[in-house]
């Protein structure tokens, strides 16, 4: 089997009466002389190969599924790229610092996994009953994320915004690579289509906003000049950030939400948290 | 950004070679996607008989699913339900060079109305007669397969719709299915051995006794080998033969009832492929050995073929028996027993000359007739061309008592009628070998009663065991459990139980079988290509909006500043 490329022509000839046709060129109407499955446009070559009894060809299907992988990957990754560019981090040579933040993410995840494996063995209780207390305890371990973010930000000198953005970008990119790239590569390239890959990519966008908000809240929490009246809202926001995953699972379990609805709820929740944290941040920065 | 990135990456790559190796292995590993549904499919027959090819030549497929009403069928896998199946639709699919045909059969055939079953039975030989390169598969229906079929049907039937916008919307939202089989291309099985079994009961009183041969072929035939259970044809014949073996071995074990006839029982393999087992057995016994029971004094050969149903019984002969010969004696005894003991049974003789110009022989007795041994076949079918002899619908046995209310579609074994037929044959044989008519015994005397009676439970369990698995000749090699169990059963009652193997000749094979008869088919949910394009357009627009939002983030920031500033000023 020859690998396929988006813009190359492949001609396969078999020994029987069947042979392959390549359709390319200018746009065609959907009706008329073209059979309805020959949808072409000038930017995309569709290869139609009649079945040769001696050869299975995956060319057509694998082109499409690679395209789908490309879709999902760009949906997941481009916002990060846009944020990096537009937040002016590139002017500060922040790439290496982002990588360091990513390394810290890996380290923190490793410690969390070890901790969970040691102190929270698999619950042998009734299957199907959602173990609220157990999951709550597990979510508490996510406090380590906050510590990690604080560690990253304390090592970076600079303005508050710079520290927050660097820490959040590095953290979120590391999470993207670790927890989303492999499933996308293995799953979205397959023949089987599932909406969950698009949802995963959207989820990574939401995570980016979430980590920016979380880094901002952590930064505010550790400021020495935080006014007394801000302590409470900041602490509440901090708690919400940590337990957001737990709350989402709770909602899904109790209200039996569909996957798209859950995504919407998650987006709304993250949006609310980030707006509140932005509001507090602006107030804090510009009150001095 | 890219300059710093390349610098960083260079540094990283120096010490991260093992990491990249792992990454490479991960990326190169083969794709194993989960399928929407996985199910077993059974391929249509593929075999060569005497140089003539039959059936479907191809086994692999990787095509999109469509139903028959779709307009474009080429290179697609056409899915049809049994209820909607007809020969014209099949021809249409073949003419448009479809990628494959999958026929969905219901799990329980008894839900199908009689006329559909009948129609399909008549179509089976026609499907096989046309050799085709399109793979034809049969699948048993379950819920998920049915839902796949309904979804495919909805999308197929709406393809003829009008405007381009509708087509666009439809192909964007529809769910297509890609059907993929996992096996390899089919190829000929080399060196397949067809096994036949023989056993004997030696008569009392010295040398040169006449021999009676009882023959039944134990394999079955249908349009798909893995679905041919052959209850009536020829599970009933095998059950009758084994029960006769049991009864006569009992009679022969007592000195007073030990008759002066040798009884030779033969279970032949490859019966549905022009009686290959019988043919080779005859050659070996008559041409290649010095002494054999078949060479000396053969009274007659009785072949049992399809005896499990109906109130008719036909004795098929190729030459009407002459007066005074043992064959005529059997004919007469059968008429007597039928007339006196079972008046509901209609017995008759059917005369059909052997036609050597035909592709295949009609009945098994014709093999013996060619070698000049007197033979006939007993069957409830009137014609050898009856579709019940090679149908996959022949798969159940029902006792008249329990199945009294429902009319069972398709051929099946009726146990009361089977045991009645067994009794008739046993009585007639006994009258011949003990010469009862000449001794003046009336036609009413029943020999096989009380302890010697035909055991209906035994017949029932035999038929149940025989129909529990498919018995196509391609599936039974010499180590198969059916052959071993039959050998064991025969050796309980008969002596000198021997196996006889038939292998096709290397240079000019009489029969060639092909493999890949059972496959696992995966149905993957796929979206049409235009869907990916639409999605790309949507994602591009989303990213554009996001870019604008991030660029103008300062606006939001400024707005919030202005909102909070007055509060600060008031402080």
Q: What's the average pLDDT block by block, 10 residues per block, for chain A (288 residues)?
A: 34 35 34 36 30 38 75 88 80 80 89 82 56 71 83 81 84 89 82 83 90 87 78 84 82 82 90 88 78
What span, in angstroms and rounded, lies between the C-alpha atoms of B54 and B46? 6
Q: Would you call A53 and B60 a contact, using CB atoms and an 8 Å cutoff?
A: yes
Contacts of B27 in chain A (CB under 8 A): 185
Radius of gyration (C-alpha) of chain A in whole angstroms: 25
Q: How many CB atoms lie within 10 A of CB B199?
A: 23
At B116, list the tokens: 């559909």
List B414's β-bridge partners, or say none. B398
B 493-552 residues with CB < 8 A to A: 524-530, 532-533, 535-536, 539, 542-543, 546-547, 550-551
* Dihedral of the alpha carbons of B92, B94, B98, B99, in degrees to the nearest 10: 150
Instruction: Give the one of B60, B529, B565 whose C-beta lies nearest to A46's C-beta.
Output: B529
| CB under 8 A, 24+ apart: contacts of A9-16 | A9/A45, A9/A47, A10/A47, A10/A59, A12/A49, A12/A52, A12/A55, A12/A57, A14/A52, A14/A54, A14/A55, A15/A52, A15/A54, A16/A52, A16/A53, A16/B133
Q: Would you call B524 and A192 a contact, using CB atoms and an 8 Å cutoff?
A: yes
Give, as one character, the DSSP assignment of residue B450: G
Close Cβ partners of A58 (under 8 Å, ≥ 6 residues apart): A1, B62
Contacts of B168 in chain A (CB under 8 A): 30
Please state, for a pLDDT cut of 70, what percent of chain B lies above it: 90
Q: What is the pLDDT of residue B400?
A: 41
For residue B375, give the H/E element and its range: strand B375-379
Do residues B530 and B52 make contact, with C-beta atoms less than 8 angstroms apart? no
Q: Is A92 on the interface with B (CB under 8 A)?
A: no
What span, in angstroms and rounded, lies between the C-alpha atoms of A70 and A181? 11
Do residues B268 and B218 make contact, with C-beta atoms less than 8 angstroms apart? yes
Is B363 strand, coil or helix?
A: coil
Q: Is A191 on the interface with B (CB under 8 A)?
A: yes
Q: Which residue has the tokens 């209310």?
A: B405
Q: What's the average model confidence in pLDDT over B60-64?
A: 85
Q: What is the pLDDT of residue B212?
A: 93
pLDDT digits (tens, 9 = 90+) for B26-61: 555 555 556 678 888 999 988 888 888 888 888 888
Give, as one character, the DSSP assignment of residue A188: I
Instruction: Tell which residue, B426, B525, B553, B560, has the closest CA to residue B174.
Output: B525
At B276, list the tokens: 């290959």
Do residues A251 and A264 make contact, with C-beta atoms less than 8 angstroms apart? no
Give B171's pLDDT tier (boundaries 50, 70, 90): low
Contacts of B63 in chain A (CB under 8 A): 51
Q: What is the pLDDT of residue B204?
A: 86
Instruction: Tell which residue, A201, A41, A92, has the closest CA to residue B543.
Output: A201
What span, in angstroms and rounded, lies between the C-alpha atoms of A156 and A152? 7
Contacts of B133 in chain A (CB under 8 A): 16, 53
Substitution target from B530, B555, B558 for chain A, most A beta carbons within 10 A: B530
Is B460 strand, coil or helix?
A: helix
Q: Is A90 on the interface with B (CB under 8 A)?
A: yes
Do residues A112 and A137 make contact, with C-beta atoms less than 8 angstroms apart? no
pTM: 0.74
Q: Would you call B180 and A191 a contact, using CB atoms and an 8 Å cutoff?
A: yes
**pLDDT(B162) > 80:** no
Q: What's the average model confidence in pLDDT over B264-278?
A: 92
For A287, nearest residue in chain B (alpha carbons) = B568
Of B398 and A200, the structure prediction assigns the larger pLDDT to A200
Cα distance from B163 to chain A (closest Cα, Å)? 8
Instruction: Give the one of B75, B159, B525 whose C-beta lies nearest to A192's C-beta.
Output: B525
Q: Is B458 on the interface with A (CB under 8 A)?
A: no
What span, in angstroms and rounded, lies between the C-alpha atoms of B19 and B170? 45
Q: What is chain B's mean pLDDT, rounded?
A: 84
Q: What is the pLDDT of residue B394?
A: 82
Q: Would you call B61 and A31 a contact, using CB atoms and an 8 Å cutoff?
A: no
Instruction: Give the one of A29, A93, A192 whose C-beta lies nearest to B4's C-beta.
Output: A93
Any idea how long chain A is?
288
Is A25 strand, coil or helix?
A: coil
List B267's β-bridge partners, or say none. B197, B216
Q: Would you call A279 and B564 a contact, using CB atoms and an 8 Å cutoff?
A: yes
Peptide bond into B37 cis (omega under 30): no
Buried b / exposed e across B232-265, counting CB within 10 Å, b at 16+? bbbbbbbbbbbbbbbbbbebbeeeebebebbbbb
What span, in angstroms and rounded, lies between the C-alpha atoms of B525 and A68? 14
pLDDT digits (tens, 9 = 90+) for A19-35: 333 333 333 333 333 33
Cα dist from B189 to B365, B383, B510, whole Å: 29, 32, 13
What span, in angstroms and rounded, lies between the C-alpha atoms of B437 and B415? 29
Cα distance from B549 to chain A (closest Cα, Å)? 10
Give, as one character, the DSSP assignment of residue B45: P
Q: Would you call B58 and A53 a contact, using CB atoms and an 8 Å cutoff?
A: yes
Quickly list DSSP for B62-130. Answer: EEEEEETT-S--BTEEEEEEGGG--HHHHHHHHHTTBSEEEEEEPS-GGGS-HHHHHHHHHHHHHHHHS
Q: What is the pLDDT of residue A188?
A: 76
Q: Would you call A51 and B75 a contact, using CB atoms and an 8 Å cutoff?
A: yes
Q: What is the pLDDT of residue A224?
A: 73
**pLDDT(B241) > 90:** yes
CB–CB contacts below 8 A, A to B:
136
Q: Is B3 on the interface with A (CB under 8 A)?
A: no
Give B249's pLDDT tier (boundaries 50, 70, 90): very high
Do residues B427 and B444 make contact, with C-beta atoms less than 8 angstroms apart? no
Q: How many CB atoms lie within 10 A of CB B354?
A: 15
Close Cβ partners of B450 (under 8 Å, ≥ 6 residues apart): none
Q: Is B10 on the interface with A (CB under 8 A)?
A: no
**pLDDT(B12) > 80:** no
Q: What is the pLDDT of residue B32?
A: 52
Instruction: Give the one of B63, B133, B543 whose C-beta lies nearest to A53's C-beta.
Output: B133
Q: Would you call B63 and A71 a contact, using CB atoms and an 8 Å cutoff?
A: no
What span, in angstroms and rounded, lies between the C-alpha atoms of B195 and B475? 12
Cα dist from B127 to B121, B131, B222, whole Å: 10, 8, 11
Q: φ, ψ for residue B519 (rounded to 5)?
A: -135, 165
Q: Is B95 on the interface with A (CB under 8 A)?
A: no
Give B486's pLDDT tier (boundaries 50, 70, 90): very high
Q: What is the pLDDT of residue B131?
A: 80
Substitution target from A43, A67, A192 for chain B, most B beta carbons within 10 A: A192
Q: Is A224 on the interface with B (CB under 8 A)?
A: no
Is B6 strand, coil or helix?
A: helix
Cα distance from A123 to chain B (closest Cα, Å)? 28
Instruction: Give the one of A79, A84, A189 whose C-beta lies nearest to B546's C-beta.
Output: A79
ipTM over the 0.95 cut-off: no
List B105's β-bridge partners, or say none. B140
Contacts of B32 in chain A (CB under 8 A): 190
Q: Would you call B553 and A86 a contact, using CB atoms and an 8 Å cutoff?
A: yes
Instruction: Tell which residue, B287, B279, B317, has the closest CA to residue B300.
Output: B317
User: HSE of B505 in the Cβ direction (CA atoms, 13 Å)?
Assistant: 9
Contacts of A31 in chain B (CB under 8 A): 164, 167
Cα distance from A89 to chain B (closest Cα, Å)? 10
**pLDDT(B420) > 60:** yes
**pLDDT(B245) > 90:** yes
- Beta strands at B518-526 and B37-43: parallel, antiparallel or unpaired: antiparallel
Per residue, what are the HEC states of B378-434? Answer: EECCCCCCCHHHHCCCCCEEECCCCCCCCCCCCCEEEHHHHHHHHHHHHHHHHHHHC
Q: Is B441 on the interface with A (CB under 8 A)?
A: no
Cα dist from B522 to A177, A186, B240, whole Å: 31, 18, 42
List B180's β-bridge partners, or say none. B62, B522
Cα distance from B166 to chain A (closest Cα, Å)? 11
Measured N-to-C along each axis, helices B237-252 and B415-433 cross at an angle, to the nearest 10 degrees, of 40
Close Cβ partners of B287 (under 8 Å, ≥ 6 residues apart): none
At B481, list the tokens: 């459990």
Contacts of B571 in chain A (CB under 8 A): 287
What span, in angstroms and rounded, lies between the C-alpha atoms of B502 and B512? 12
3-state helix, strand, coil in chain B (%, to 5): 40, 20, 35
Q: Is B204 on the interface with A (CB under 8 A)?
A: no
Least confident of A45-49, B256-260, B551-555: A45-49
- Beta strands at B495-503 and B100-105: parallel, antiparallel or unpaired: unpaired
Q: What is the pLDDT of residue A42?
A: 29
Cα distance from B168 to chain A (closest Cα, Å)? 9
Of B197 and B442, the structure prediction assigns the larger pLDDT to B197
Q: What is the pLDDT of residue B246?
A: 93
Q: What is the pLDDT of residue B562?
A: 82
Cα distance from A252 to chain B (closest Cα, Å)? 24
**pLDDT(B571) > 80:** no
Q: What's the average model confidence in pLDDT over B403-412?
A: 60
Strands, sheet with B193-201, edge to edge from the N-terminal-most edge strand: B346-351, B312-317, B375-379, B298-304, B211-217, B262-268, B193-201, B495-503
| CB under 8 A, 24+ apart: contacts of B15-22 | none
């Amino acid at each position: 089997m020859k690998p396929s490329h988006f813009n190359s022509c492949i001609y396969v000839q078999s020994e029987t009466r069947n042979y392959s046709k390549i359709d390319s060129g200018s746009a065609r109407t959907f009706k008329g002389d073209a059979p309805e499955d020959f949808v072409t446009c000038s930017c995309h070559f569709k290869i139609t190969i009649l079945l040769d009894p001696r050869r299975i060809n995956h060319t057509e299907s694998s082109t499409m599924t690679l395209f789908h992988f490309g879709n999902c990957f760009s949906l997941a990754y481009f916002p990060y790229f846009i944020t990096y560019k537009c937040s002016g981090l590139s002017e500060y040579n922040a790439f290496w610092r982002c990588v360091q933040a990513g390394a810290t993410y890996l380290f923190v995840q490793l410690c969390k996994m070890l901790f969970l494996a040691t102190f929270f063995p698999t619950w042998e209780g009734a299957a199907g009953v959602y173990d609220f207390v157990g999951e709550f305890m597990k979510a508490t371990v996510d406090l380590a994320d906050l510590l990690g973010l604080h560690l990253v930000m304390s090592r970076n000198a600079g303005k508050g915004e710079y520290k927050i953005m660097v820490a959040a970008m590095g953290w979120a990119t590391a999470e993207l690579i670790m927890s989303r790239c492999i499933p996308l590569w293995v799953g979205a390239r397959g023949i089987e289509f599932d909406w969950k890959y698009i949802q995963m990519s959207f989820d990574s966008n939401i995570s980016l906003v979430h980590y920016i908000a979380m880094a901002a809240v952590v930064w505010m929490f550790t400021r020495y000049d935080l006014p007394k009246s801000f302590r409470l809202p900041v602490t509440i926001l901090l708690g919400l950030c940590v337990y957001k995953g737990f709350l989402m699972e709770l909602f899904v379990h109790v209200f039996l939400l569909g996957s798209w609805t859950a995504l919407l709820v998650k987006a709304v929740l993250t949006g609310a948290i980030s707006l509140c944290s932005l509001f507090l941040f602006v107030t804090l920065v510009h009150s001095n | 950004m890219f300059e710093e990135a390349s610098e960083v990456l260079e540094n990283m790559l120096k010490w991260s070679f093992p990491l990249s190796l792992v990454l490479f292995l991960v990326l190169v590993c083969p794709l194993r996607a989960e399928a929407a549904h996985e199910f077993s499919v059974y391929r249509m027959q593929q075999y060569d008989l005497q140089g003539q090819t039959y059936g479907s030549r191809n086994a692999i497929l990787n095509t999109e699913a469509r139903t028959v009403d779709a307009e474009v069928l080429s290179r697609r896998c056409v899915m049809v339900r049994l209820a909607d199946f007809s020969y014209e639709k099949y021809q249409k699919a073949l003419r448009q060079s479809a990628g494959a045909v999958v026929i969905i059969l219901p799990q329980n055939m008894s839900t199908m109305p009689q006329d559909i079953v009948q129609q399909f039975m008549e179509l089976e030989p026609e499907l096989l007669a046309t050799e085709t390169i399109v793979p034809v598969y049969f699948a048993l229906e379950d819920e998920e397969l049915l839902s796949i079929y309904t979804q495919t049907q909805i999308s197929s039937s709406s393809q003829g719709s009008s405007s381009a916008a509708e087509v666009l919307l439809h192909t964007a939202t529809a769910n297509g299915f890609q059907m993929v089989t996992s096996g390899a291309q089919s190829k000929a099985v080399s060196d397949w051995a067809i096994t036949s079994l023989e056993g004997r009961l030696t008569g009392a009183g010295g040398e040169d006794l006449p021999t009676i041969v009882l023959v039944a072929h134990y394999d079955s035939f249908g349009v798909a080998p893995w679905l041919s259970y052959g209850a009536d044809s020829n599970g009933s014949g095998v059950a009758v033969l084994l029960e006769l073996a049991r009864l006569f071995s009992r009679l022969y074990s007592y000195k007073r009832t030990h008759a002066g006839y040798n009884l030779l029982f033969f279970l032949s393999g490859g019966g549905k492929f022009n009686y290959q087992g019988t043919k080779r057995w005859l050659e070996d016994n008559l041409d290649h050995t010095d002494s054999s029971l078949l060479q000396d004094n053969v009274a007659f050969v009785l072949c049992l073929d399809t005896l499990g149903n109906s109130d008719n019984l036909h004795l098929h002969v190729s030459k009407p028996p002459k007066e005074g010969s043992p064959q005529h004696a059997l004919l007469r005894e059968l008429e007597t027993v039928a007339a006196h003991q079972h008046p509901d049974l209609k017995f008759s003789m059917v005369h059909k000359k052997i036609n050597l110009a035909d592709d295949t022989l009609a009945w098994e007795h014709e093999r013996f007739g060619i070698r000049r041994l007197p033979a006939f076949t007993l069957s409830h079918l009137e014609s050898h061309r009856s579709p019940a002899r090679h149908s996959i619908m022949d798969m159940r046995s029902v006792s008249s008592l329990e199945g009294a209310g429902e009319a069972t579609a398709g051929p099946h074994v009726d146990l009361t009628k089977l045991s009645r037929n067994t009794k008739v044959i046993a009585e007639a044989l006994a009258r011949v070998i003990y010469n009862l008519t000449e001794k003046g015994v009336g036609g009413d005397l029943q020999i096989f009663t009380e302890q010697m009676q035909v055991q209906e439970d035994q017949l029932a369990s035999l038929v149940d065991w025989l129909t529990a698995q498919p018995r196509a000749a391609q599936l039974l090699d010499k180590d198969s459990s059916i052959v071993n169990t039959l050998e064991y059963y025969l050796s309980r009652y008969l002596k000198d139980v021997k196996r006889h193997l038939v292998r096709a000749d290397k240079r000019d094979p009489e029969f060639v079988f092909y493999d890949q008869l059972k496959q696992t088919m995966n149905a993957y949910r796929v979206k049409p290509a235009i869907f990916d394009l639409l999605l790309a357009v949507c994602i591009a627009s989303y990213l554009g909006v996001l870019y604008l939002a991030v660029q103008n983030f300062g606006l939001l920031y400024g707005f919030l500043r202005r909102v909070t500033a007055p509060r600060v000023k008031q402080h």
